[in-house]
A and B are shown apart, each in its own frame.
Chain A
């Protein structure tokens, strides 16, 4: 019994960790900026591309493989520091207060541009460097050989959930963000620099997306089309958890991860359907997601 349950559980958790990384930035940006960023998946894949390039460089120069862990983190910071403020200032800012249709279309345009830019910068071949995975080695759990990197991923996801919670509940910046989320105009009128909060929150979202991509790269590599695939998955998870709910996204990632692994174990042909089917069922019953607050219909 435990021979099947433990690997299944660990697989689900590792899968959930990766799914969570894809979705958490999307939901964070939505909660603060009220913008659904359709280009979020591209930022994830850009993070993966940058991480792959740096790791391949490290490998080619035969530098210490431990540097590749630094590289994973660095690439996320790098992408966030450059693209975060740039995109927020030029495009996202323009959509504040506009209808959702406009926001979705503008970010869809951004998605198309980023997809081609990646192709031009990183080429069309898939990149893959598993130095971090090899470095951590394997361990045996319940008689099944396991990659330690997957356990590392689970740890990172837990760290991010706790970190974000600490940031929002217990720091000055977190309180400012909470104030802006609760009432944008009031926050502005008592002197909070909302523009700054928006840039920071969006860049944090970009960081989380790029970190997700960077951490996923050593396990699955990166190829064109990753951005589009990640986008819908992130969308599904964020919607199940309730758009804007960070803990909701974590729970939703667990549900989707479990659904996916169960599908892979029992009905392999349906593994790709599982996240969307779960999203459909949840949204039809609770349109605001599992943890979304029910708000009155806007007129």
Chain B
């Protein structure tokens, strides 16, 4: 039943831009943020809140811009390389940070991401300062595409990636490695007594989440056509956590539901009011207070007793 529902929503997403072309950009961006929010949600399972994941989002988007400026013009290699960049950054940063818990983990992520932000903004000669860098339209398997055609390719590829990678992450979360994450949250010491290296479990999760944020960043970079330091600002990281919580950290669809909901609501709201943050802030507080399972909790009925 749930598979049918998921498949139906993907089909609807795929068809929607054919009727409303302006939606395509919104949906591409929503999927991009969904990937990043999924990364944040993975860490939230272990009780780790990262207010810094926008750094991987930005690192990979800047990676795309850099590589494109250095002459790599192929879409597939740019996408793969940028995710590798984000993952490698994740390995380095994660190796230091996964030793910390709770508020210290959150603060250190914030600190690292703000170092990234200030460097992106200040190293004018390399990163273009606050003007950012342009992300050109790459060639797809040797074909040079017009901008609308490339945006089509980008959207449908994101959709396919959402399904494929979503399934992959679902498998990962359902594996012993994934279940170890929630075990870290409930009782870390017991996990260590069982002989499971918590550090490795968390590092793997951190790298996976960095790679997901990187994939989102690369897609967003391509969709927007420009990458600016604000990609890495702490409020951007806060928004990713917000999306993850809003959607519900219970399952993979949650992050994407949250991102789609928020982007669509945003598009609708800006025509009426510019007090967008007011709405989001109030919604976030309401969701946490009254719907701890997030929007996804409305669809997914958990089995067994709930607290």
A residues neighboring B (CB under 8 Å):
36, 38, 91, 94, 99-102, 104-106, 108-117, 119-120, 228, 231-232, 235-236, 239, 243, 269-270, 272-273, 276-277, 279-280, 283-284, 287-288, 297-299
Contacts and interface: CB of A to CB of B under 8 A. Distances in A.
B14 interface: no
A109 B124 contact: no
Contact of B118 (A243, A273, A283): A273
Interface residues of B, number: 47
Given A94-B289, A105-B245, A109-B285, A280 B122 contact: no
A116 B124 CA distance: 30
Given A117-B278, A231-B234, A109 B288 contact: yes
A116 B122 contact: no
Nearest to A272: B118
25 contacts: A36-B103, A94-B289, A99-B102, A100-B103, A100-B106, A104-B51, A108-B238, A109-B284, A109-B288, A112-B281, A115-B277, A116-B275, A116-B278, A120-B278, A228-B235, A236-B114, A243-B103, A269-B122, A272-B118, A272-B122, A273-B122, A276-B114, A280-B108, A284-B108, A299-B188
B234 A109 contact: no
A288 B107 CA distance: 11
B230 to A, nearest CB: 10
Contact of B122 (A120, A232, A270): A270
Q: Which 3 A-B pairs have the closest CB atoms?
A: A112-B281, A113-B281, A109-B284
Nearest to A39: B281
A231 B278 CA distance: 18
A113 B278 contact: yes
A269 B123 CA distance: 7
Interface in B220-247: 233-235, 238, 241-242, 245
A280 B111 contact: yes
Given A280-B111, A280-B112, A287 B100 contact: yes
Interface string B274-295: 1111101111110011000000
Contacts of B121: 272
Tell me the interface secondary structure of chain A in the complex: helix
A127 B241 CA distance: 32
Interface in B171-188: 187-188
A112 B111 contact: no
Given A269-B124, A299-B189, 4 more contacts: A100-B49, A102-B288, A272-B122, A284-B108
A116 B283 CA distance: 14
Given A270-B122, A299-B188, A280 B115 contact: yes
Contact of A239 (B107, B275, B288): B107
Contacts of A279: 107, 111
Contact of A283 (B44, B104, B278): B104
A19 B104 CA distance: 21
Contacts of A228: 233-235
Tell me the interface secondary structure of chain B in the complex: helix
B28 to A, nearest CB: 24
A277 B115 contact: yes
Interface in B257-288: 274-278, 280-285, 288
B125 to A, nearest CB: 9
Interface in B51-76: 51
Given A231-B234, A284-B96, A116 B44 contact: no
Contact of A116 (B96, B100, B276): B276
Interface of B: 44, 47, 49, 51, 96, 100-104, 106-108, 110-112, 114-115, 118-119, 121-124, 187-189, 233-235, 238, 241-242, 245, 274-278, 280-285, 288-289
Give the most central of B44, B49, B282, B285: most A CB within 10 Å: B285
A269 to B, nearest CB: 5
A109 B288 CA distance: 10
A39 to B, nearest CB: 9
Contacts of A99: 47, 102
Contacts of A120: 275, 278
A218 B107 CA distance: 31
Contacts of B49: 100-101, 104-105
B118 to A, nearest CB: 4
Nearest to A284: B96
Give the most central of B47, B114, B284: most A CB within 10 Å: B114
B54 to A, nearest CB: 12
A283 B114 CA distance: 14
A112 B239 CA distance: 10
A280 to B, nearest CB: 5
A297 B285 CA distance: 29
A183 B241 CA distance: 32
Contacts of B111: 236, 239, 276, 279-280, 283
A276 B284 contact: no
A152 to B, nearest CB: 29
A105 B111 CA distance: 18
A113 B245 CA distance: 17
A133 to B, nearest CB: 28
A256 to B, nearest CB: 12
Give the most central of A38, A108, A283, A284: most B CB within 10 Å: A108
A99 B245 CA distance: 14
B57 to A, nearest CB: 17
A231 B107 CA distance: 12
Nearest to A113: B281
Contacts of B51: 104
Give the most central of A112, A239, A279, A284: most B CB within 10 Å: A112
